Amino acid sequence: MIPRDKFDVGAIEKLKQVHPEEVVLLLPQLLEWLQDFNWPVAEPMLEVLLQYPTELTPHIEQVLVGDDDMWIFWCLTKIVPVLPFYSKMVLADSVQKLAEQEKTQWNEDVIEAAQQALVSFEPI
């Protein structure tokens, strides 16, 4: 169920067949497969994870307050904008802090991604 490597999309098919409670227990490990959206498993894994937005939100928050800029970037660009409104509200403070941090040559992409993610928080 947990991919063995970045090409193991077969593991995701197995994930789709297990009871949701089993998937929820694995969310922290499964979220790790979204550290780089260039990996073949990333997009199909996102589809699975988005079925559990409430349970996934605290794990995303941990990524956003961490120090892995690439992972933060992918969460801000691929996950946060498509979460339900209630999940976005839980993440609002963390995203806002990222958007307002002092810009350096190393965090420009994260700041821009956070600012764009905040746009998705606005009502249509």
What digits encode the pLDDT tens for the residues 22-66?
A: 999 999 999 999 999 999 999 999 999 999 999 999 999 999 999
- Answer whether 0.85 is exceeded by the pTM: yes
On the question of pLDDT at 111 being above 90, the answer is yes
Q: For residues 110 and 69, is the Cβ–Cβ distance under 8 A?
A: yes
Output the pLDDT for position 28: 97
φ, ψ dihedrals at 106, nearest 5°: -95, -20
